[in-house]
């Protein structure tokens, strides 16, 4: 994700306060006058109708979900923009009566929206599904009434529920046909969703029916379906309970002797027999069987019913995919009971290899008679993979955000998805960008060009679809998609005050422990940073004589080990709350320090150990990011986020390397400030020195309310708070270190409004933030003063995607 923040403080608009006050007064008056005088409701009323503007409901019990009931309400009013006015109706009304031209038709029908008129028949018909919904929720005999308010050409409908105490589940009994099914159902019914004392819910009964079906299909009952499950409800009006009988019946077959004669047969369990994999179905399809080759592969021998290979790989002329890769992707094996879950996992794993455009996993009953099967049946599994192109080239134009600087760039990429015939992915990308670095306010710096910074580099790597370790790992779990990544790259950054060369080499692992957890472990990440300072910048550093700055802007090596844990329990389109958490921990320099001590290495003139003549960094760094997403219904969401990080340099380092430090501000943080312009702490300075503000400690909290506005345009109201601090006191940054007694005084806070243009395949974001409290100012001028507001007080941020 490329996000960038651009501060528009240089646009000095509306400097005159009296003019701004006049504009504030005139614009709302004009808008109100226009919309009132041209009210679509008045025009609709003249034509004998009423513009329908709202549906609301008053429930008589707190347990009734109002939003669910309002989903049944008809007609539905036109949507409002910003929750204030129906611009679509106004535009339609404005252009629909004009001359019939293409532009007027487009404005009227595409940009505008036909006004929704009151129809009492629709209103009355809405009562029926509402009553059914209440009955399904246990409110048997419930009633719903409505009132219609007509005023100034507008209609408003209000619904009222009239219910009694809801029914609750009583006893839950099971009647199961067939001894085998009865045995397995003993374990399945222990996890039943239907609990005695729980409020009656027909939708929960539906879910229980699906659960039982799913559980049985996962233990071999391939031919079982929900049509064999019946629920009988016996209600008691006196006790307000509903006893349930869950009945599972045998298969009913016509006997063939008489048309009306039916015989019953117990449900049978199915086991996997043979597995056939067409690893390149596009090559094999339509080919004579004599022109194809079949490879029998065996990696297991723990079959239950018969001795057979794990699978047969079918290919033509040349084996383009090694069978061991397919074996690692299979969750089904000969002799194993059929499981729909394992079929789905196999499909997902094969699809995640990235080799195929289409993957299909089908099973077919084997029509054989075998007395040794004792009532069991066999299935053959047919897996077909339609391969995607192996080689792929990409050319991209993009906005950049390296170091927080706005820029434009392009990249050329190449990808081979099967470089060693084991689903390994070779990646290579070369990229370049021109960037706009803010004015540093330093004499002698060239300001003649707009894009005054340059960045270029390349990155390459290989991803292996397994864990390449000296140790043997069994399967990490059903969802353990594992990857080993080897990567390297080089980056050239030409800034106003310095030129930086960064090269790196890394080796790491990534795997999913479950559907909601992911682990990333990088045992080795070696990076080398070489900095060539401008002569003016060198003079500034020498005048400051601060070892912290000197340490951050000199050559260094980083040999780090990193671990990350990610938790995300989001279920798409479920409408449920969910959490996201990411925690990182990183240490660097310990192995090199141990080596230096063992070898009794000499230190340089600054008292640091070096490797190949370059000082190496030594530190411990950790951070955590926690988010809570709360859907509010009707495409509205509240998002809460808090993040904390701390880095401690020690041993061979006086300060964290610049690229490992924490910063605040920008498109994804404190949006009232440009990136790296906040803190540390309460540090105050009116002099621009060219130093970006980086700290050892970081804390941030955000709350954002997201809501629909109009068509593809969504809005966001946000509040951000946080800052960065130094761990130790520093005379160059007075009040910049963390102090418990001044913690709240050192927190920066902003608020603002954002616009998100949702084009389905990507989201373009514009956020405008205003600093509400700025700890970097003098104590008497830290709070935002609304009466002195100017447009230049807004910090504009542009980004792709949501900030969090």
- What are the start-end ranges of the E strands in 534-618? 556-568, 578-588, 610-611, 614-615
**Overall average pLDDT of the 239-261 stretch:** 82
Of the listed ranges 109-118, 427-436, 566-575, 713-722, the least confidently predicted one is 109-118
Residue 674, pLDDT score: 86
Query: Distance (Å, rounded) from C-alpha 503 to C-alpha 487?
Result: 11
Give the tens place of pLDDT for each residue, 405-414: 556 778 899 9
Tell me the pTM. Answer: 0.79
pLDDT at 471: 72
Burial class (CB in 10 A: 0-12, 13-18, 19+), 192: middle
- Cβ atoms of 594 and 618 within 8 Å: the answer is no
Nearest in space to 16 (alpha carbons), one of 792, 735, 644, 731: 792
Please give the average per-residue pLDDT across 176-190, as a whole number: 91
Residue 356 CA to residue 386 CA, distance in Å, equals 5
Percent of the chain at pLDDT exceeding 70: 82
Q: pLDDT tens digits for 367-399? A: 765 545 566 899 999 999 998 899 999 988 765
Q: Supply 50's token pair.
A: 């009423």
Q: Residue 282: pLDDT above 60? A: yes
**Per-residue model confidence (pLDDT) at position 295:** 82
Q: What angle do CA 488, 491, 494 make, to 5 degrees?
A: 170
| Tokens (6 digits) for 279 | 């690893």
Q: Helix 202-217 to helix 179-188 angle, to the nearest 10 degrees?
A: 120
> DSSP readout, 678-730?
S-STT----S--SPPP-BSEEEEEEEEEEEEEETTEEEEEEEEEEEEEBSS--
Which whole number is the average pLDDT over 442-447? 57
Kindly provide the b/e burial profile for residues 493-522, where b requires at least 16 CB atoms within 10 angstroms of the residue's own CB. bbbbbbebebebebbbbbbbeeebbbbbeb
What pLDDT is attached to residue 712? 83
**Is the model's pLDDT at 2 over the cut of 50?**
no
- Distance CA(235)–CA(242), nearest Å, equals 4
Q: Which of 66-80, 185-199, 685-699 has the lowest mean pLDDT?
A: 685-699
| Cβ-based burial of 77 (10 A; exposed 0-12, middle 13-18, buried ≥19) | buried
pLDDT of 349 higher than 50: yes
Give the burial class of 239: count Cβ atoms within 10 A of its Cβ; 0-12 exposed, 13-18 middle, 19 or more buried.
exposed
b/e 314-338 (16+ beta carbons within 10 angstroms → b): bbbeeeebbbebbbbbbbbbbbbbb
Q: Enter the tokens of residue 90.
A: 């106004």
Would you state the pLDDT for residue 732?
A: 79
What is the H or E stretch that residue 543 is in? helix 535-544
- Can you tell me which residue has the tokens 């609990």? 195
Over 80: is that where the pLDDT of 509 sits?
A: yes
How far apart are the C-alpha atoms of 500 and 534, rounded to whole Å? 11
Name the pLDDT band for 8 (thresholds 50, 70, 90).
very low
At 688 the pLDDT is 60
> Which pLDDT score, from 0 to 100, does residue 439 have?
55
Beta bridge partners of 756: 714, 765
List, as one string, the DSSP characters of 411-437: EEEEEETTTTSSS-EEEEEEEEEEEEP
Least confident window among 41-45, 237-241, 270-274, 309-313: 41-45
Is the pLDDT reported for residue 446 higher than 70? no
Each residue's pLDDT tens digit, 512-541: 888 899 999 999 999 999 988 877 777 777
239 or 103: whose pLDDT is higher?
239
Average pLDDT of span 59-84:
86
Q: What is the mean pLDDT of the chain?
A: 84
- Residue listed under structure tokens 């077919």: 364
Under DSSP, the state recorded for 81 is B
Token pair for 649:
């340099």
- Which of 176-190, 282-296, 656-670 is predicted least confidently? 282-296
Residue 793 has pLDDT above 90, yes or no: no
Q: In this predicted structure, what is the pLDDT of residue 45? A: 66
CA 683, 663, 692, 615 dihedral sign is: positive
Per-residue pLDDT band for 226 (boundaries 50, 70, 90) equals very high
Q: What is the pLDDT of residue 501?
A: 93
pLDDT exceeds cutoff 80 at 97: no
The predicted structure's pLDDT at residue 253: 79
Q: Could you read off the pLDDT of 588-615 as tens digits, one per residue? A: 999 999 999 999 888 888 888 999 889 9
Can you spell out the DSSP letters for 136-189?
HTT-TT-EEEEEEEEETTEEEEEEEEE--SPPEEEEEEEEE-SHHHHHHHHHHG
- CB burial of 283-292 (b: ≥16 within 10 Å; e: otherwise) equals bbeeeeeeee
pLDDT reported for residue 10: 31
Query: pLDDT at residue 250 above 50?
Result: yes
Dihedral sign, CA of 382, 383, 389, 395? Answer: positive
User: Residue 730: pLDDT above 50?
Assistant: yes
CATH 3.10.20.310 residue window(s) in the chain: 42-162, 168-265, 270-387
Class of domain 42-162: alpha beta
Distances 365 to 11, 368, 534 between C-alpha atoms, Å:
73, 9, 75
Distance between CA atoms of residues 444 and 467, nearest Å: 54
Closest listed residue to residue 92, CA positions, set 82, 77, 106: 106
344 has a pLDDT exceeding 80: yes
Name the range with the highest mean pLDDT among 54-58, 474-478, 709-713. 54-58
Residue 301 pLDDT greater than 60, yes or no: no
Q: Taking the CB of residue 150, how many other CB atoms lie within 10 A of it?
A: 11
Strands (E) across 465-577 are located at 482-494, 498-512, 517-533, 556-568
The candidate with the shortest Cα–Cα distance to 566, out of 578, 549, 583, is 583
Residue 750 has a pLDDT of: 95
Q: Which residue has the higher pLDDT, 695 or 306?
A: 695
How far is it, in rounded angstroms, from Cα 591 to Cα 652? 12
Under 8 Å between Cβ of 663 and 724: yes
Q: Report pLDDT for 7.
A: 37
The pLDDT of residue 414 is 96
- Strands (E) located in 177-299: 229-236, 241-248, 251-254, 262-265, 270-278, 293-297
Longest dimension (CA), the chain: 106
pLDDT of residue 684: 84
Higher-confidence position of 235 and 114: 235
Q: Write out the CATH class of domain 270-387.
A: alpha beta
Residue 790: its pLDDT value, please? 85
Beta 168-176 vs 241-248: how paired, if at all? parallel
How far from 333 is each of 70, 115, 305, 326, CA to CA, in Å?
49, 60, 11, 12
What is the Cα–Cα distance from 291 to 293, expressed in whole angstroms? 7
Q: What's the average model confidence in pLDDT over 425-434?
A: 92
Is residue 800 within 8 A of residue 4, CB to CB? The reply is no
The sign of the torsion formed by the CA atoms of 539, 545, 549, 554 equals positive
Segment 146-174, tens digit of pLDDT: 999 999 888 999 999 999 999 999 999 99
> What average pLDDT score do residues 227-253 get?
92
pLDDT at 701: 97
The answer to whether 422 touches 325, Cβ cutoff 8 Å, is yes
In the numeric block, the tokens 């699906």 are attached to: 210
Tokens 């009583």 belong to which residue?
A: 170
Mind giving me the DSSP string for 459-473? EEEEEESS---SS--
Q: How far apart are CA 798 and CA 768, in angstroms?
A: 9
Closest-CA residue to 106 (of 98, 44, 40, 714): 98
| Domain 168-265 CATH class label | alpha beta
Any residues with CB less than 8 A from the CB of 628 and at least 6 apart, and which?
Answer: 577, 578, 579, 580, 639, 640, 641
Share of the chain above pLDDT 90, in %: 49
pLDDT 10s digits, 487-503: 999 999 887 788 889 99
Mean pLDDT of 2-24: 38
pLDDT over threshold 90, residue 207: yes
Predicted confidence band at 22 (pLDDT cuts at 50, 70, 90)? very low
Per-residue pLDDT band for 20 (boundaries 50, 70, 90) equals very low
- The mean pLDDT of 223-239, rounded to a whole number, is 93
């Amino acid at each position: 994700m490329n996000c960038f923040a651009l501060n528009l403080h240089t646009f000095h608009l509306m400097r005159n306060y009296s003019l701004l006050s006049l504009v504030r007064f005139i614009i709302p008056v004009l808008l109100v006058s226009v919309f009132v005088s041209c009210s679509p409701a008045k025009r609709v009323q003249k034509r004998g109708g009423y513009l329908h503007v709202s549906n609301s409901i008053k429930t008589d019990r707190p347990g009734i979900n109002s939003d669910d009931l309002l989903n049944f309400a008809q007609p539905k009013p036109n949507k409002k923009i910003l929750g204030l006015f129906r611009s679509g109706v106004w535009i339609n009304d404005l252009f629909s009566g004009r001359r019939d031209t293409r532009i007027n038709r487009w404005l009227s029908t595409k940009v505008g929206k036909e006004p929704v008129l009151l129809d009492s028949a629709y209103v009355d018909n809405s009562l029926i599904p509402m009553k059914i919904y209440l009955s399904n929720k246990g409110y048997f005999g419930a009633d719903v009434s409505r009132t219609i308010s007509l005023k100034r050409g507008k209609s408003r409908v209000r619904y009222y529920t009239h219910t009694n105490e809801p029914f609750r589940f009583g006893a839950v009994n099971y009647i199961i046909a067939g001894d085998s099914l009865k045995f397995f159902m003993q374990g399945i019914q222990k996890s039943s969703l239907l609990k005695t004392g729980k409020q009656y819910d027909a939708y929960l009964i539906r879910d229980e029916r699906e659960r039982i079906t799913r559980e049985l299909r996962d233990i071999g009952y391939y031919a079982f379906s929900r049509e064999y499950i019946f629920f009988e409800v016996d209600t008691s009006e006196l006790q307000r309970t509903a006893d349930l009988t869950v009945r599972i019946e045998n298969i009913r077959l016509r006997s063939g002797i008489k048309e009306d004669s039916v015989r019953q047969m117990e449900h049978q369990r199915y086991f996997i027999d043979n597995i056939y994999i067409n690893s390149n179905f596009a090559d094999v399809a339509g080919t004579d069987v004599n022109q194809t080759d079949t490879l029998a592969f065996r990696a297991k021998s723990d079959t239950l019913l018969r001795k057979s290979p794990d699978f047969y790989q079918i290919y033509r002329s040349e084996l383009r995919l090694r069978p061991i890769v397919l074996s690692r992707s299979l969750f089904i094996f000969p002799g194993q009971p059929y499981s729909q879950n394992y079929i789905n996992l196999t499909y997902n794993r094969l699809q995640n290899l990235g080799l195929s455009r289409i993957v299909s996993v089908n099973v077919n009953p084997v029509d054989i008679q075998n007395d040794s099967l004792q009532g069991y049946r066999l299935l053959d599994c047919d897996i077909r993979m339609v391969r995607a192109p192996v080689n792929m080239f990409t050319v991209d134009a993009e906005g950049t955000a390296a170091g927080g600087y706005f820029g434009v760039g392009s990249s050329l990429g190449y990808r081979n998805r099967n470089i060693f015939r084991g689903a390994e992915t070779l990646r290579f990308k070369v990229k370049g960008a021109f960037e706009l670095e803010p004015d540093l306010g330093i004499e002698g710096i060239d300001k003649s060009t707009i894009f005054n910074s340059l960045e270029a580099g390349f990155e390459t790597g290989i991803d292996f679809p397994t864990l390449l370790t000296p140790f043997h790992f069994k399967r990490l779990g059903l969802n353990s998609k594992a990857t080993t990544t080897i990567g390297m790259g080089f980056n050239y950054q030409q800034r106003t005050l310095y030129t930086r060369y960064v090269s790196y080499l890394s080796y790491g692992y990534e795997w999913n422990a479950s559907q909601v957890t992911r682990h990333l472990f990088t045992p080795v990440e070696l990076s080398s940073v070489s900095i060539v300072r401008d002569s003016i910048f060198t003079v500034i550093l020498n005048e400051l004589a601060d070892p912290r700055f000197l340490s951050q802007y000199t050559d260094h090596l980083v040999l780090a080990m990193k671990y990350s844990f990610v938790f995300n329990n989001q279920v798409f389109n479920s409408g449920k709350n969910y959490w996201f958490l990411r925690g990182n921990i990183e240490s660097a320099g310990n192995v090199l320090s141990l080596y230096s001590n063992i070898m009794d290495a000499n230190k340089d003139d600054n008292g640091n150990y070096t490797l190949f003549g370059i000082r190496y960094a030594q530190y411990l760094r950790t951070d955590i990011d926690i988010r809570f997403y709360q859907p509010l219904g009707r495409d509205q969401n509240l998002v809460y986020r808090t993040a904390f990080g701390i880095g401690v340099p020690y041993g061979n380092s006086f300060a964290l390397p610049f690229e490992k430090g924490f910063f605040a501000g920008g498109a994804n943080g404190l949006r009232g400030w440009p990136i790296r312009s906040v803190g540390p702490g309460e540090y105050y300075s009116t002099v621009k020195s060219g130093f970006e503000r980086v700290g050892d400690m970081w804390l941030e909290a955000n709350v954002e309310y997201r809501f629909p506005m109009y068509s593809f345009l969504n809005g966001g109201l946000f509040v951000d708070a946080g800052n960065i601090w130094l761990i130790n006191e520093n005379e160059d940054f007075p009040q910049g270190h963390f102090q418990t007694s001044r913690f709240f005084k050192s927190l920066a806070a902003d608020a603002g409004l954002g616009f998100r243009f949702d084009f389905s395949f990507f989201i373009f974001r514009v956020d405008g933030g205003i600093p509400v409290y700025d700890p970097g100012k003098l104590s008497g001028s830290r709070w935002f003063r609304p009466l002195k507001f100017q447009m230049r007080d807004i910090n504009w941020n542009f980004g792709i995607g949501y900030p969090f």
